[in-house]
């Protein structure tokens, strides 16, 4: 398979979904669409904050992962196999970790906003 097609099918598809989530965020708490964790689904305020923050960070990190994967393909002559997948998983993991940290910094365990 052409390495550019492989990168676009893995990292490009995730970038497409991050754009979709960014421009069409979920409006109500649901079990199908959006950033769904126990903490993010406690109330509407946390839900809106978590989805806005996650969508923004996911968009940034998937764009970085796509560019990095394309540069990797362009610069190296090795056959790519797992490298784009690792970049995709790292961008997802970083987005989730950063969102959970932001939730912990802005909301208490009961779902109320912390005083700043």
Q: pLDDT, tens digit, for every residue of 48-99?
A: 999 999 999 999 999 999 999 999 999 998 888 899 999 999 999 999 999 9
Q: What is the pTM of this model?
A: 0.91
Distance, in Å, from the CA atom of 109 to the CA atom of 41, rounded to the nearest integer, reads 12
CA dihedral of residues 52, 35, 94, 60 (deg, nearest 10): -40
Cα distance between the two ends of the chain: 52
- Sequence spans of domains, the chain: 3-24+37-106
Average pLDDT score over the chain: 94
């Amino acid at each position: 398979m052409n390495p550019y097609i492989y990168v676009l099918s893995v990292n490009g598809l995730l970038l497409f979904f991050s754009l979709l989530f960014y421009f069409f965020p979920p409006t109500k708490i649901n079990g199908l669409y959006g950033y769904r964790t126990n903490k993010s689904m406690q109330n509407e305020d946390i839900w809106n904050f978590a989805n806005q923050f996650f969508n923004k960070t996911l968009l940034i990190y998937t764009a970085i992962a796509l560019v990095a994967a394309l540069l990797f393909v362009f610069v190296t002559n090795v056959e790519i196999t797992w490298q784009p997948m690792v970049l995709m998983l790292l961008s997802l993991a970083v987005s989730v970790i950063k969102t959970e940290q932001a939730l912990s910094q802005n909301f208490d365990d009961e779902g109320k906003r912390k005083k700043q």
